[in-house]
Amino acid sequence: MAHKTDIEIAREAQKKPIQQIGDGLGIPSEHLLPFGHDKAKVSAEFIAGLNGRENGKLILVTAINPTPAGEGKTTTTVGLGDGLNAIGKKAAICIREASLGPCFGMKGGAAGGGYAQVVPMEEMNLHFTGDFHAITSAHNLLSAMIDNHIYWGNALEIDQRRVVWRRVMDMNDRALRDVVTSLGGVANGFPRQAGFDITVASEVMAILCLATDLEDLQKRLGDIIVAYRRDKTPIYCRDLKADGAMTVLLQQAMQPNLVQTLENNPAFVHGGPFANIAHGCNSVVATTTALKLADYVVTEAGFGADLGAEKFMNIKCRKAGLAPSCVVVVATVRAMKMNGGVAKADLGQENVEAVEAGCANLGRHIGNVKSFGVPVVVAINHFISDTDAEVQAVKDYVETQGSEAILCKHWAKGSEGIKELATRVAEIADADVSNFAPLYRDDLPLFEKIETIAKRIYRADEVLADKKIRDQLREWEAAGYGDLPICMAKTQYSFSTDPNLRGAPTGHSVPVREVRLSAGAGFIVVICGEIMTMPGLPRVPSAEQIMLNEAGQIEGLF
Amino acid sequence: MAHKTDIEIAREAQKKPIQQIGDGLGIPSEHLLPFGHDKAKVSAEFIAGLNGRENGKLILVTAINPTPAGEGKTTTTVGLGDGLNAIGKKAAICIREASLGPCFGMKGGAAGGGYAQVVPMEEMNLHFTGDFHAITSAHNLLSAMIDNHIYWGNALEIDQRRVVWRRVMDMNDRALRDVVTSLGGVANGFPRQAGFDITVASEVMAILCLATDLEDLQKRLGDIIVAYRRDKTPIYCRDLKADGAMTVLLQQAMQPNLVQTLENNPAFVHGGPFANIAHGCNSVVATTTALKLADYVVTEAGFGADLGAEKFMNIKCRKAGLAPSCVVVVATVRAMKMNGGVAKADLGQENVEAVEAGCANLGRHIGNVKSFGVPVVVAINHFISDTDAEVQAVKDYVETQGSEAILCKHWAKGSEGIKELATRVAEIADADVSNFAPLYRDDLPLFEKIETIAKRIYRADEVLADKKIRDQLREWEAAGYGDLPICMAKTQYSFSTDPNLRGAPTGHSVPVREVRLSAGAGFIVVICGEIMTMPGLPRVPSAEQIMLNEAGQIEGLF
């Protein structure tokens, strides 16, 4: 039997009017700002009125280090949400919005897959409710105001060589990475080296995802460091008086978006910060709102647990006062095999030995997550090619780690295929056994925070950083930024900084190439290895195949 | 008594749910895609179903040459729509969407004023329904695909010096006018001179406003010339296979937006092409849809009648098969005085003589518009400082021109203040006296088309163009573009190309500086004088005052 594609399944969805989905959560329709018939924003007024209500249980879905085999983290997040509802629980899902640019490069959506999807998936992968466009506008308004300030006399004495605020565009456009602006003579300003990042890499995106309300948003925007003077003193967004107008541009974008799963369960899709130079989780506003409205909230974090879950715990939970009741680590037999040394082309053949060898990667993630004081369950996201013996090998291994692994078939069967996991997760969450604590204290020196993450999560022997970087960290401590958490930027493919080092490496070093202060978002980015903040398009961009068919449906986007 | 500001009046609006506004036009609510409770897009399916219905009467609102005194063209368009409804007619309004960028530079909205406004005005001046963001994305996708094509081997042999497709941003950012892209080495491509225009200046915007449906949109996008080879043969958007994905990005933006006036009458707000390098009218789709749903449709064209009405007639009406039944020329006593030589500071004093002297400008516009075969009425948009003698002077003058002038107080009184004009306009439209024809035939040589406009509309003696320009026009004729209409780009402040030459100058010359082919939009841009396609911010941008107040309302935007 030929399987249906994700888009074919999504098109057959029996969507309910979004007001009905909101009604199920107790949101009156006057507080749902509709965008079409199947998307809505939840009003800030309604959210403010939830204050004081009890929170539901927060469940984090994370994963092993990603491999080209695919893990299905979003699919499992959606599936688990549907599963919890199917067993009679009131559950909501919180995931990130998709970036538009990459959709025109390589295929791939961000709305789950198979029978565990969020709809309308086409719109979620295009303009959606315009949040990313608003972020682009707010970011670039600040950029324009910086050059405009210099143009009209530069009263703030901005050192034109030290403008650190770039411009953004939600597009894969390598030509914009490194540009010279303000050419063409007097009327166009002072030429200087500049550049563009993709919108998801904007600090404005990270701020929107961490801000608790509009007031906090404006304060954080004001805190952004845009440039330095010749004496290296910082110039803030607030000094340019851009924070008010940026807040106006983001007012609507700050309201979380409500959509639904294929099974008509509520999903909040809001914010989408890069998981490398930012923290990679959906917005705090969406998560805290969902926790007031549902008994169980299933959310996810970008990349593998060493990056995504670590930042979720140490940045998002710390800052927002959240604590997960249970963590689900997604693994697949195929990914275990790849971690065990099997090439992608050979994944179709049974290889229990390779599965067992690859399980070391999973084992370390389980241990790491447990070190935050939270209980762990493993979800084996089932592929048709998996054999019983391979699945059993994963289950047996996880048992040796003091956890349990549950086979899930939500991709093929929707909630029906994930009820066992849902039941177990609900039991664990209800048992209140979680004793969450971040990995390091706020007052630990910045370099020691980096060492803590490197040694306890990556299991590295040492952190390598030259004097310039250590001095920079000390300067920030002296300037009052010492209690910020660390936002690690490294490859997602390995515990180490070498993307080819699979499994569970030890004895390695973590070289720090660069550190950056995100004073508005409130973290220090520590860059280990290359970091790409503006992707390019491939030789044959998927844009060439994207078009409307005769029925007016979108083809080629997925 | 202190007058209320536009925003104060707008905030007091008793808006009806947009479904109710749609219902009044016979649009079922399933064909209204809501954006919040007060904005909606009309589905393409519904629009397609209107085919074959009879058209209502089209009424164009245009104006004398703008002066710093202000004319109130949009205000009069909105007021006249309300006035027609108030006298029992079924009327709709069609205006353009506002550009976001300029709102952060100088104050000023695009939704009318006083008691003749369209609401929600804040959102109309910010992201609205995201149409401009979609245009920005579609435009820049094509830009990225051009550089990406060159990067991956340049199979089409694009001459990197002859890339004519720039990038766009909806922001006043002079630093982006002239840039060098693709710096930074091999991974970032081949450095070249490039630049950004503001989004409203994009050919994609002009195309969206002239396309009749999605199929026509995609064809026109494909027709865009993006670059030339060394042998000067053109490379089209279609050659890069970008037209399909651009159409997908614009699918929703092609659907006209429905909002309402303060008096709850329907207003279509859709498209906003620059009135200098484009034709400056709202979308053909919105106008033709409104004509199927209402008995009277009031629309406007950018700048004064010499530019806006001329292009409305010769480009929009020609291309869309439209014909206005009546044209309203808006004039003010203050603007007549300025045309008569009075300085802005002295406008408050009665000066009948100056009014009479300034009327020459109005008279010529009346004559010009009549030359298209359409009847003309003058609307005197009343200001509190106008004296009875001054108003009478305008009325008397207009009578000598074989037309009539009617005093309108819609700014202060809404529809109540403009019933006389509404009644007269309806009478004229119902009398079917219009005998519309464009000014020149499709098959007239391009240079003769330019001469026709310059001599018959601007009343110039001659058109000055060097050999290079005349050769270029002949080349385009040979390439099959000879039957395109002309899109003039010149100062809006004078009939001549000298912005200081007010009144009704004669004997002047029209120097053509440059000609550009917009093969997708389907016109040839003829540039006379400087043309600014990317504005800058002023010394103190209004962005510095824009912010949310404690009630969460937007301050400083208007």
CB B527 within 8 A of CB B513: yes
Closest CA in chain B for residue A143: B173
Same domain, B141 and B177: yes
In a domain, B1, yes or no: no
Same domain, A261 and A222: no
* Cβ-nearest to B547 among A193, A244, A537: A244
Residue/partner pairs of A422-427 with CB below 8 Å, 24 or more apart: A422/A80, A422/A83, A422/A84, A422/A86, A422/A87, A422/A89, A423/A87, A424/A377, A425/A59, A425/A80, A425/A84, A425/A296, A425/A326, A425/A328, A425/A377, A426/A84, A426/A87, A426/A89, A426/A296
Q: What pLDDT band is residue B459 in, cutting at 50, 70 and 90?
A: very high
- pLDDT digits over B476-501, tens only? 999 999 999 999 999 888 999 988 88
Strand A523-527 versus strand A514-518 pairing type? antiparallel
Looking at residue B250, its pLDDT comes to 98
Report DSSP state, residue B251.
T
In a domain, B435, yes or no: no
Domain of residue A233 covers 131-246
Residue B107 falls in the annotated catalytic set: yes
Q: Name the minimum distance, in Å, from the CA of B341 to any CA of chain A.
A: 31
Please indicate whether, in this complex, the C-beta atoms of A548 and B218 are within 8 angstroms of each other. Answer: yes
How much is the average pLDDT of A162-178? 98
3-state secondary structure of A543: helix
Looking at residue B1, its pLDDT comes to 42
Check which CATH number belongs to the domain holding B214 and give it: 3.30.1510.10
Please indicate whether, in this complex, the C-beta atoms of A537 and B148 are within 8 angstroms of each other. Answer: yes
Looking at residue A286, its pLDDT comes to 98
In a domain, B85, yes or no: yes
How much is the average pLDDT of B362-370? 96
Looking at residue A1, its pLDDT comes to 42
- pLDDT digits over B509-530, tens only? 999 999 999 999 999 999 998 7
Is the predicted pLDDT of residue A553 greater than 70, yes or no? yes
Q: What pLDDT band is residue B302 in, cutting at 50, 70 and 90?
A: confident
Find tokens 């040839």 and name the residue. B524
Angstrom distance (rounded) from CA A34 to CA B37: 7
Residue B303 falls in the annotated catalytic set: yes
Check which CATH number belongs to the domain holding A473 and give it: 3.10.410.10
- Is the previous residue joined to B120 through a cis bond, with omega within 30 degrees of 0? yes
Is the predicted pLDDT of residue A347 greater than 70, yes or no? yes
- pLDDT digits over B22-35, tens only? 999 999 999 999 99
Same domain, B501 and B470: yes
Same domain, B367 and B222: no
Taking all residues of chain A, what is their mean pLDDT, rounded to a whole number?
95
Report DSSP state, residue B340.
T
Q: Among B185, B216, B246, which residue terminates a domain?
A: B246
What's the domain count of chain B?
Answer: 3
Same domain, B459 and B421: no
How much is the average pLDDT of B208-227? 98
Please indicate whether, in this complex, the C-beta atoms of A241 and B544 are within 8 angstroms of each other. Answer: yes
Considering only CA atoms, which of B141, B154, B139, B179 is closest in space to residue B229? B154
Looking at residue A62, its pLDDT comes to 96
- pLDDT digits over B415-430, tens only? 999 999 999 999 999 9
Considering only CA atoms, which of B268, B373, B256 is closest in space to residue B323? B373
Angstrom distance (rounded) from CA A310 to CA A300: 12
Same domain, B136 and B123: no
Chain A residues near residue B218 by CB distance under 8 angstroms: 547-548
* Cβ-nearest to B547 among A151, A247, A548: A247
Looking at residue A530, its pLDDT comes to 79
In a domain, A64, yes or no: yes
Looking at residue B107, its pLDDT comes to 60
How much is the average pLDDT of B341-350? 89
Q: What pLDDT band is residue A108 in, cutting at 50, 70 and 90?
A: low
Q: Name the minimum distance, in Å, from the CA of A73 to any CA of chain B.
A: 28
Amino acid making up residue B326 = C
How much is the average pLDDT of A411-422? 97
Nearest-10 crossing angle of helices A467-476, A446-456 = 120
How much is the average pLDDT of A290-317? 96
CB A496 within 8 A of CB A293: no
Looking at residue B277, its pLDDT comes to 85
In a domain, B57, yes or no: yes
- Residue A7 token pair: 């888009």
Question: How many other CB atoms are there within 10 angstroms of residue B491's CB atom?
Answer: 22
Distance of alpha carbon B134 from the chain centroid:
18
Same domain, A459 and A331: no
Looking at residue A177, its pLDDT comes to 97
Q: How far apart are the first and last CA of chain B?
A: 21
Taking all residues of chain B, what is their mean pLDDT, rounded to a whole number?
95
Angstrom distance (rounded) from CA A292 to CA A546: 40
In a domain, B437, yes or no: no
Same domain, A263 and A234: no
Amino acid making up residue B307 = L
In a domain, A105, yes or no: yes
A470-479, B108-117, B324-333, B357-366: range with lowest mean pLDDT: B108-117
Q: What pLDDT band is residue A302 in, cutting at 50, 70 and 90?
A: confident
Q: What pLDDT band is residue A106 in, cutting at 50, 70 and 90?
A: confident
In a domain, B433, yes or no: no
Which of B274, B312, B411, B523 is catalytic? The answer is: B411
How much is the average pLDDT of B285-300? 98
Same domain, B450 and B390: no
Q: What pLDDT band is residue B101 in, cutting at 50, 70 and 90?
A: confident
Considering only CA atoms, which of A71, A169, A64, A157 is closest in space to residue A113? A71
How much is the average pLDDT of B49-71? 91
Q: List, as one string, the DSSP characters of A137-190.
A: HHHHHHHHHHHHHHHTT-TT---GGGB---EEESS--GGGSSEEES-SSGGG--
Same domain, A357 and A403: yes
Question: How many other CB atoms are there within 10 angstroms of residue A434's CB atom?
Answer: 18
Nearest-10 crossing angle of helices B243-250, B214-223 = 140
CB B279 within 8 A of CB B523: yes
Looking at residue B109, its pLDDT comes to 65
Please indicate whether, in this complex, the C-beta atoms of A178 and B174 are within 8 angstroms of each other. Answer: no
Same domain, A485 and A380: no
Check which CATH number belongs to the domain holding A374 and give it: 3.40.50.300
Question: Which residues of A belong to the annotated binding site?
Answer: 67-74
Looking at residue B181, its pLDDT comes to 98
Chain A residues near residue B100 by CB distance under 8 angstroms: 137
Q: Among A204, A221, A246, which residue terminates a domain?
A: A246
Closest CA in chain A for residue B150: A539
Same domain, B217 and B304: no
Q: Among B182, B211, B246, which residue terminates a domain?
A: B246
- Residue A24 token pair: 């199920």
CB A236 within 8 A of CB A245: no
Looking at residue B529, its pLDDT comes to 80
Q: What pLDDT band is residue B111 in, cutting at 50, 70 and 90?
A: confident
Which of B75, B247, B287, B497 is catalytic? The answer is: B75
Q: What pLDDT band is residue B303 in, cutting at 50, 70 and 90?
A: confident
